[in-house]
């Protein structure tokens, strides 16, 4: 057992210190804002404080519970605006999406984000503003970008009540998110001197982005949108290009139609939503659509990267099922005038889509299995080697810090800018060596590909002609290339080799 993403072990390491020692730290005694999701880390810490079971089982249990809660609230939200059959098909297809199943096992906060987003929209439409405000506050603690949904609610409420502002509604809606945002910002500023978690700048360096807080880069935007199109096309719909255009259309024609349905469904949501807001009505489907689009726009300006399997913008997978089914329903209603025929066409389409999505779910089950093996086979084994061969609390610089920290007993020096903000200037100057030398680090674990040097090692200042340090190889753990290739292509997961070196300055 384990997690398919190394980042999940970062949450577990911080949660272990929070639950066991009431300390928000990665290494004991060193406070950090390295957990982007304060709420998720706090939930995980309950296991270390009270329950004390295997963290994999505890995390999986929480995510399965959130999985069913998300499906339940999604169905309740949809069935208020569209018929039950269509709502049921959307929920089933979303729940069976392979990447959605991957997120259940990922150990990350994705399903907490799903649940709080959908539940917030549901209660907002129900005009239960105190609950909406509370859930929005929790969403902000889950991920900082959750602030976007809160702002959408504020704009909608002001528009609906204009020119007379509903003061009581605004207070119920605003007070909890402002309190929770204040808690998050205060903790970040107290520990790191920044309003945002340390991880933000570290990820900007990793994805070769500017160190500016936000900006618009058209090339990066195109790359971001293209990567999402590729992920949906190949790893959700299963479209694989053939050499010939004709053969490609014959082989994948049905699946290409799904993009047409998404386009039509999106237009339908926009048309219905804008019409309703002219009449100052609240529509949950339209709000979900706007929130999904807004989340992508936030990342385009602040961090244009999809991350592992698209976990930074998980609502896109909900958007696929939602718009696709509504697009099919729209076409069926135009072609068949009678309701009975429309339902029959929708049911048949749902069965075809069910086959496509089940196949996708089986594919991602294999991806999840292989990803867990990869992390256990490289990161975990390296951690156990460090624990048995190096002195306790020896400083070891590591790029993939999650499992290596959790299963070792060493003081892990983060090379990715996720834990310690002091390394950030060195990262953007492409030379971390002075930082490591000042801290007295003698050992380093770097990720490698198979046939050439470490890309991240080069970005950190090693393996360059002007580098004045020598790295003496001590131990290597690696995953076979045929296994790792599936992990790389689908999730952009950790490199296949983890190599321990002694540093000679």
List strand residue ranges (DSSP E) for 57-208, in order.
none
Separation between Cα atoms, residue 232 and residue 319, nearest integer Å:
11
How much is the pLDDT for 246?
54
Question: 497 φ, ψ to 5°?
Answer: -125, 135
Structure tokens of 144?
């900082």
How much is the pLDDT for 254?
64
CA distances in angstroms from 7 to 123, 399, 429, 443, 503, listed in the order given? 32, 11, 25, 22, 26
Separation between Cα atoms, residue 175 and residue 169, nearest integer Å:
10
Separation between Cα atoms, residue 203 and residue 87, nearest integer Å:
37
How much is the pLDDT for 128?
95
Beta carbons within 10 angstroms of residue 352's beta carbon: 11
CA distances in angstroms from 224 to 236, 301, 390, listed in the order given? 17, 11, 41
Q: Looking at the chain, how many residues does it have?
A: 505
How much is the pLDDT for 504?
94
Q: CA angle at residue 143 from 138 to 148, to 5 degrees?
A: 85
Written as tens digits, the pLDDT of the chain (505 aa) is: 899 999 999 999 999 999 999 999 999 999 887 778 999 999 999 999 999 999 999 999 999 999 999 999 999 999 999 999 999 999 999 999 999 999 999 999 999 999 999 999 999 999 999 999 999 999 999 999 999 999 999 999 888 877 777 788 889 899 999 999 999 999 988 888 888 888 888 888 888 788 887 778 889 999 999 999 889 988 888 766 555 555 555 556 566 788 999 999 999 999 988 877 656 566 899 999 999 999 999 999 999 998 888 999 999 999 999 999 999 999 988 888 777 778 888 888 889 899 989 999 999 999 999 999 999 999 999 999 999 999 999 999 999 999 999 999 999 999 999 998 899 999 999 999 999 999 999 999 999 988 777 888 889 999 887 778 899 999 999 999 888 888 888 888 889 999 999 999 9
Helix ranges, 376-454 (H): 381-389, 402-407, 424-428, 433-438
Separation between Cα atoms, residue 234 and residue 227, nearest integer Å:
11
Separation between Cα atoms, residue 163 and residue 373, nearest integer Å:
59
């Amino acid at each position: 057992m384990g997690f398919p993403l190394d980042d999940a072990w970062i949450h577990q390491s911080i949660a272990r210190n929070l639950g066991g020692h009431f300390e928000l730290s990665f290494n004991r005694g060193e406070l950090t804002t390295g957990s982007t999701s304060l709420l998720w880390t706090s939930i995980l810490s309950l296991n270390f404080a009270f329950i004390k079971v295997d963290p994999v089982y505890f995390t999986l249990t929480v995510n399965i519970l959130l999985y069913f809660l998300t499906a339940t609230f999604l169905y309740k939200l949809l069935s208020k605006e569209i018929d039950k059959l269509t709502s049921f098909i959307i929920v089933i297809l979303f729940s069976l999406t392979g990447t959605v199943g991957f997120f259940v096992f990922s150990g990350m906060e994705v399903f907490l984000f799903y649940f709080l987003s959908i539940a917030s929209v549901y209660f907002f439409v129900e005009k239960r503003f105190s609950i909406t405000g509370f859930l929005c506050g929790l969403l902000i603690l889950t991920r900082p970008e959750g602030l976007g949904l809160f702002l959408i609610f504020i704009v909608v409420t002001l528009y609906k009540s204009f020119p007379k502002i509903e003061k009581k509604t605004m207070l119920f809606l605003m007070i909890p998110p402002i309190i929770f945002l204040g808690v998050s910002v205060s903790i970040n500023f107290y520990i790191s001197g920044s309003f945002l978690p340390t991880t933000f700048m570290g990820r900007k360096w990793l994805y070769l982005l500017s160190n500016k807080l936000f900006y618009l880069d058209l090339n990066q935007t195109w790359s971001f949108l293209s990567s999402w199109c590729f992920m949906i096309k190949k790893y959700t719909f299963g479209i694989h290009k053939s050499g010939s255009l004709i053969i490609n259309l014959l082989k994948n024609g049905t699946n290409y139609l799904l993009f047409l349905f998404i386009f039509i469904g999106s237009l339908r949501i926009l048309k219905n939503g804008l019409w309703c807001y002219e009449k100052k009505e609240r529509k949950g489907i339209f709000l979900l659509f706007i929130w999904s689009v807004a989340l992508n726009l936030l990342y385009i300006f602040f961090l244009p990267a999809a991350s592992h399997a698209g976990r930074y913008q998980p609502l896109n997978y909900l958007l696929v099922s939602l718009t696709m089914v509504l697009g099919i329903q729209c076409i069926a209603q135009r072609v068949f005038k009678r309701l009975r025929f429309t339902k029959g066409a929708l049911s048949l389409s749902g069965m075809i889509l069910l086959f496509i999505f089940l196949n996708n779910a089986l594919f991602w089950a294999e991806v999840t299995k292989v990803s867990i093996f990869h992390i256990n086979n490289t990161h975990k084994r390296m951690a156990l080697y460090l624990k048995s061969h190096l002195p306790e609390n020896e400083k070891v610089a590591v790029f993939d810090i999650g499992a290596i920290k959790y299963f070792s007993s060493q003081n892990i020096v983060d090379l990715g800018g996720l834990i310690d903000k002091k390394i950030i200037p060195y990262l953007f100057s492409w030379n971390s060596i002075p930082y490591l030398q000042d801290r007295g680090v003698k050992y380093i674990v770097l990720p490698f590909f198979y046939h050439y040097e470490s890309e991240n090692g080069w970005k950190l200042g090693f393996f360059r002609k002007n580098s004045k340090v020598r790295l003496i190889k001590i131990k290597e753990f690696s995953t076979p290339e045929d296994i790792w290739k599936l992990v790389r292509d689908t999730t952009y997961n950790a490199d296949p080799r983890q190599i321990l070196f002694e540093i000679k300055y």
